[in-house]
Amino acid sequence: MTMSERPRPTHRAPSECPVCADQLEVTRLGCASCGTELAGEFAGCPFCALDDADLEMLKVFLTSRGNLREVEKHLGVSYPTARARFTTLLVNLGLEKQAPVSTPVDRDKILADVAAGVLTPAEAQRILAEGS
């Protein structure tokens, strides 16, 4: 059976040690086709350690070309929720130190965004309702 005929594995490798919860390192690679093995210390993949929700968020974000409004529509969530999920993704990838502390909703800014056409009245209403 050639490599292209083999079913792809459905399980992802763990990223944390099940004993001490420290980060696991890739130290061995193997070819399922011919049995060749390589041993050593290899760079890990930060994307491989993401859970399914983070991977879905990343796929939607890339498909939406970085437009969080499109992410919001695709996921069927509010803009603040889409933004929070994106922040979580950045934290999990190590690209942001910690999730920022939530700030109170700036009603005047939201109304200015509606006047400028950045937000629709319905979006503004939803944001104001979630922020209170």
Strand partners, 30: 37
Domain limits, CATH 1.10.10, in the chain = 50-101
Q: Check: CB of residue 38 under 8 Å from CB of residue 46.
A: no
Fold for the domain defined by 50-101:
Arc Repressor Mutant, subunit A (1.10.10)
61-115: per-residue pLDDT in tens? 999 999 999 999 998 888 888 888 899 899 888 888 875 555 667 888 888 888 8
9-33: per-residue pLDDT in tens? 677 777 788 889 888 888 888 898 8
Report field, pTM of the whole predicted structure over 0.85: no
Q: What is the pLDDT of residue 2?
A: 54
What is the b/e burial string over 41-67, where b = at least 16 CB atoms within 10 angstroms of the residue's CB?
eeeeeeeebbeeebeebbebbeebeee
